[in-house]
Homo-oligomer: A and B are copies of this chain.
Amino acid sequence: MPLIAHPQFMPFAEALPLKGGGHIANYTLAYETYGQLNADRSNAVLVCHALNASHHVAGVYEGQDKSQGWWDNMIGPGKPVDTNRFFVIGVNNLGSCFGSTGPMHESPETGKAWGADFPVVTVEDWVAAQARLLDALGIEQLAAVMGGSLGGMQALSWTLQFPERMRHAVVIASAPNLNAENIAFNEVARRAIVTDPDFHGGHFYEQGVVPKRGLRIARMIGHITYLSDDVMNQKFGRQLRDGLDLRYSTQDIEFQIESYLRYQADKFSDYFDANTYLLITRALDYFDPAREYGGQLNQALAKAVAKFLIISFTTDWRFSPGRSQEIVHALLDNQRDVTYARINAPHGHDAFLLDDPRYHQLVAAYFDRIAKE
C-alpha cells in the first residue's frame, strides 16, 4: 500500500524580513509530512527542494496513480530515509508556484497578482521561513536537514543560520556557490523568459497569456545541463526520429534528442511559472556564504556545528565533485564531522534524483546511524 500524501498549508501573519531588503507578510507555506513525530520530537527531517520541485517529496495523492513525490525513491516506509523511523517534512519555498505564496498570488498592497514585483527571495530567506514552519509545528531541533542541488544549498545555509537547530546536514550534488558558467546558463534562461513578448514585464497574468516560448528555452537549457554528455550519447546519440531517413530541414525534428527536448520543454511550460523561474535562478546566483568572509569558505562555515554527509556524482558538470570538495575541505579546516562520498554515476546532475544502489545504500546507512544516536 503506497504512502498517501496530504498537502497542508500554514499561514504566517508576521512579516518575514528579507535579505534583499523589505519583507513579506501574510504569506502561506505549502508543506507535507510523512511518518510520525516521536514523543521527544527528535526525529524530524526537513527536505529542501531544488529548482522545479515542491513540498510533494514522497508518496502519492489519493486516487492519483502517477503522482509520486519527486524524491519518492529516497523517502518513505523502508526507504533510505525511512518514514517508519523519521518524521519527514517537505516544504514549498516562498516564491514558488506549487502552493506557497508566490508571484501568481495577490499582492496585499495592489490587490493584483505580484508578478515581477514579488520580492527577490534568497536561500537564507527560505531557510528563515522554513524555521518558522518548524516553530509552528513545535519542532525545536531537526534530526537532519537534507537536499540536493539548490536544496543542498539550503541544507548548508541551515547549518549557518540555525547551527543548533539540526544535528545533521545532508548536502547532495551541491556547491558553496555558483560559478560563472552556472550563472551564465541561468542568465540565458532568464533572458529567454524576460524577452518573450508574452512576459509583459512579469505582469502577464493580467493579459491572460504565458511566456511559454521563454519557459521552453529555459527548460531545454536546464535539461542539457542536468544530464551528462555520456548519458545523452547513450540515450540519444545521433539517433534519428524517423528511423534512417534524413529530411534535410532546419526547423523540423531530425534527431531524437531534439524531440526529447521539445517534449520536456512543452510539458514544463504548461505548469511552471515564469516569475518563479526568475526568482529561483536568482536565489541560486546569490547564494554564497563565503562572500561576507572575503571568499574564505572555511571562515564562513566556522559557525556550523552539525555533522555532515556530503555526496557528489562523478559526471555532474553543473555541480562537479570539486565543488562539494570545497565544502568538505572548509568543514575539515574547522574540525567538523564530515562524511564525503563521490559516487561514480553516469547520469550527471540528475543522478541525485535517481535510484542508484550505492547512493541509496549510503544514505540509508547514514540515516540508520542518525536513528541510533
CB closest residue in chain B, given A213: B195
Q: Known contacts being A190-B250, A216-B195, is A183 close to B116, with CB within 8 Å?
A: no
Q: Counting chain B CB atoms within 10 Å of each CB, which of A217, A250, A254, A286 scores highest? A: A250
Task: Please indicate the chain B residues that have their CB under 8 angstroms from the CB of A282 in the complex.
Answer: 249-250
Q: Report whether B188 and A224 are in contact in the complex, using a CB–CB cutoff of 8 Å.
A: yes
Whole-angstrom CA separation of A248 from B122 in the bound complex = 9
A144-186 contact mask (Cβ, 8 Å, vs B): 1 or 0: 0000000000000000000000000000000001111101110
Is A192 interfacial (CB-CB < 8 Å)?
yes
Q: Report whether A120 and B250 are in contact in the complex, using a CB–CB cutoff of 8 Å.
A: yes
| From B192, B195, B232, B250, contact of A180 by CB (8 A) | B232
Whole-angstrom CA separation of A326 from B265 in the bound complex = 33
Task: Please indicate the chain B residues that have their CB under 8 angstroms from the CB of A180 in the complex.
Answer: 229, 232-233, 235-238, 255, 257
| From B184, B190, B255, B278, contact of A224 by CB (8 A) | B184
Is A365 interfacial (CB-CB < 8 Å)?
no
Q: Report whether B181 and A224 are in contact in the complex, using a CB–CB cutoff of 8 Å.
A: yes
Is A210 interfacial (CB-CB < 8 Å)?
no
Is A35 interfacial (CB-CB < 8 Å)?
no
Task: Please indicate the chain B residues that have their CB under 8 angstroms from the CB of A248 in the complex.
Answer: 19-21, 120, 122, 286
Task: Please indicate the chain B residues that have their CB under 8 angstroms from the CB of A179 in the complex.
Answer: 229, 232-233, 237-238
Q: Known contacts being A180-B233, A261-B188, is A250 close to B195, with CB within 8 Å?
A: no
| Contact residues of A: prevailing secondary structure | helix
Task: Please indicate the chain B residues that have their CB under 8 angstroms from the CB of A20 in the complex.
Answer: 246, 248
Is A350 interfacial (CB-CB < 8 Å)?
no
Is A197 interfacial (CB-CB < 8 Å)?
yes
Interface range, A side = 35 or more
Is A23 interfacial (CB-CB < 8 Å)?
no
Whole-angstrom CA separation of A20 from B227 in the bound complex = 31
Is A191 interfacial (CB-CB < 8 Å)?
yes
Q: Counting chain B CB atoms within 10 Å of each CB, which of A120, A183, A202, A262 scores highest? A: A183
Question: Distance in Å from the Cβ of A353 to the closest Cβ of chain B?
Answer: 19
Is A91 interfacial (CB-CB < 8 Å)?
no
| From B122, B220, B278, contact of A188 by CB (8 A) | B220
Is A82 interfacial (CB-CB < 8 Å)?
no
Task: Please indicate the chain B residues that have their CB under 8 angstroms from the CB of A190 in the complex.
Answer: 250-251
Question: Distance in Å from the Cβ of A255 to the closest Cβ of chain B?
Answer: 5
Q: Report whether B224 and A288 are in contact in the complex, using a CB–CB cutoff of 8 Å.
A: no
Q: Report whether A216 and B229 are in contact in the complex, using a CB–CB cutoff of 8 Å.
A: no
Whole-angstrom CA separation of A348 from B227 in the bound complex = 20
Task: Please indicate the chain B residues that have their CB under 8 angstroms from the CB of A178 in the complex.
Answer: 238
Is A24 interfacial (CB-CB < 8 Å)?
no
- 13 examples of A-B residue contacts, CB within 8 angstroms: A116-B250, A120-B249, A120-B250, A178-B238, A179-B232, A180-B229, A181-B224, A183-B238, A184-B223, A187-B257, A191-B220, A195-B217, A229-B317
